[in-house]
Structure 1
Amino acid sequence: MSSTILHTPGLTPADEGKPAGGAEEEKNPFLVALGDRVRALRARRGMTRKATALAADVSERHLANLEYGIGNASILVLLQVAAALQCSLAELLGDVTTSSPEWLLIRELLERRDEDTLRRVRVAVGELLGTGGASAERGAGRSTRVALVGLRGAGKTTLGQMLADDLGYPFVELSREIEKFAGCSISEIQGLYGQNAYRRYERRALEEAIQIYPEAVIATPGGIVSDAATFNQLLSHCTTVWLQAEPEDHMKRVTAQGDLRPMAASREAMEDLKGILAGRAAFYSKADFRLDTSAQPLEPTFAALRSLVRQALQLAP
């Protein structure tokens, strides 16, 4: 039995292949664009609507509704249509990497590549576009902006200030710079304007830090990896170090800073923290270096960070 998109009463066989509803009916712009892409993909494949409907196991009338922007299809139906058109669901929905032939060709080249290969491609593209350096990947000419990434409680502020003092660099705590831009606290930004506004301020603060400071130690917010464009900018313009720690250490350090909110429901908070860490670890791992700050005192941890950074920047020990 064919899957359905819309139920249109009074449908006759003569109506098959025609869109339902009057021409004057207001259409949703997203559905119109979706329909345009379905038609374009069908034309590119050289398939008739009837053949496409048969391959997708939907009625021709329902496919017509979809193509004319009046069929609000389910995800499962869209998967069937995508399979019939031999494309991905992302291409059907209009992902930017499917928006032109060049994007599609690049995407095809990168599909099924391993993480190490993709990293090398990203660095090479950064060098080509002037946004990052393969020279840094080779270990020469690393940026003298050192950015520390990781979850809250990893030691970014404490170790960052110590490292800046040791190197004689300015110390930039990006969270404070975000608050300066907004003229209010981070909690107020998120409460009044929402997460998207906060991410915009975060990116502006990073852009300004990069522009102002050729040398600096930057402590970044834990969620900076949430916005790919901002995180890519950080990777391209800074020597990055992921300060790792076990979830229990993150929790202890946060509460030691005077934030007792996690203690209100410690088990639930710990599970949330583990989930956040698991979700961000793949992005944190893109940093140039990583340093485990768990289960060791501050001074040995700083000594390890100092040695790592000085060696990376080819500075005297």
Structure 2
Amino acid sequence: MTAVPSGLVMDAAQSEPLFLEQLGQRVRNMRGLRGMSRKVLAKVSGISERYIAQLESGKGNVSIVLLRRVAQALGTHPEDLIPASDPVPDWPVLRDLLRQASPVQLAHARDMLSGLGRLGAGARRLPDFNGIALIGLRGAGKSTLGRRLADHIGWRFVELNKEIAQQHGLSIAEIIALYGQEGYRRMELATLRQLLARKELMVLAAGGGIVSEPVSFELLLSSFFTIWLKADPEQHIARVRSQGDLRPLADDQTAMAELHTILTSREPHYARASAVLDTASLSLDDATTQLIEMVSPVLCRDACVFGSRQAVL
């Protein structure tokens, strides 16, 4: 029997606390991306809230079976929660695209990655432009400002969540209860693709959690001039309460803690938007004015590109 060097055993033992800490951070970030509280995650996964708290703090040595349950409750894959030694930033997008690819597409991808394939000049295409998309948390002003912007420039205003609900005859809460987070995200992607297929310029208000689905978010970024509507956590909560929507705000202290988790997890993704509009200290009229000024330089340029694509189709 070959002996294992003692140094390797010691290195592995020393790295275990760091691994568990990183694992807990990934679970907490994914929960934030999904906009789920610990209580909701515990209920969906069937794991106690106390144990999830231990897991997120790096003190829970979770089994593969329990990790699988956590991943399923979060609507993701177990491998997304396991720390990678050399993470590839675009890996989630590439993986999900590969899972959806046809055999011919997979063969082309394999050839390209192996150096056997080459992109010719004919493979390049005009950038897709379908309008303006607003992203951000609930209470950021996506619906209000989006409707005002659409009225000003004469485009259709679309709320992605309402479009999904209308197509399926169910509320978003009912869809998630019946089909789970993963099922809802599939519907979200399908609905987004249907909207893009209409070839119609629009102002789109996307759900705050679209950043948690790599393929959907990449499609949004590549198809729209995206703007992150940013606000302070206190303003998010105040606006949501004023709208009569208390999801998932049990009390101020818990709500603020959960909102900070969600913001921390989503901010790096929101920051990939084409532009950022901080509405924290702006009145509704001032925010509308700044939003219109922000999109004005891109409207003519990209609308002309959109028009030229329509003429070819």
TM-score per shorter chain, which class? 0.5 to 0.7
Does structure 1 residue 291 correspond to structure 2 residue 302?
no
Residue segments in structure 2 that go unaligned for 5+ positions in a row: 20-81, 99-105, 114-118, 304-313
TM-score (norm 1): 0.58
The offset of 1:193, in angstroms, is: 1.3
After TM superposition, list the pairs within 5 Å mapping 1:1-317 onto structure 2: 16=1, 50=2, 56-57=8-9, 76=16, 90=84, 133=127, 143-261=129-247, 264-314=250-300
User: Higher helix proportion, which one?
Assistant: 2
Secondary structure, aligned partner of 2:251: helix
Using a 3 Å threshold, how does the CA distance of structure 1 residues 312 and 253 change in structure 2: closer, same or farther? Answer: same
CA contact (8 A) 2:130 2:196 kept: no
Residue segments in structure 1 that go unaligned for 5+ positions in a row: 1-15, 17-49, 59-74, 80-87, 107-124, 134-141
Specify the code of the residue in structure 2 equivalent to 1:160. G
Aligned residues: CA RMSD: 3.9
Specify the code of the residue in structure 1 equivalent to 2:217. F
Specify the code of the residue in structure 1 equivalent to 2:159. E
Specify the code of the residue in structure 1 equivalent to 2:165. E
| Bigger RCO (CA 8 Å, 6+ sep) | 2
Instruction: Tell me, in whole angstroms, the C-alpha distance in 1 between the residues paired with 2:250 and 2:85.
Output: 45
CA contact (8 A) 1:181 1:201 kept: no
Q: How many residues align?
A: 212
Secondary structure, aligned partner of 1:148: strand
Instruction: Tell me, in whole angstroms, the C-alpha distance in 2 between the residues paired with 1:223 and 1:239.
Output: 18
Using a 3 Å threshold, how does the CA distance of structure 1 residues 259 and 89 change in structure 2: closer, same or farther? Answer: closer
Larger Rg, first or second structure (1 or 2):
1
Specify the code of the residue in structure 1 equivalent to 2:158. V
Specify the code of the residue in structure 2 equivalent to 1:150. G
Instruction: Tell me, in whole angstroms, the C-alpha distance in 2 between the residues paired with 1:89 and 1:57.
Output: 20
TM-score (norm 2): 0.58
Secondary structure, aligned partner of 2:145: helix
Instruction: Tell me, in whole angstroms, the C-alpha distance in 1 between the residues paired with 2:159 and 2:151.
Output: 14
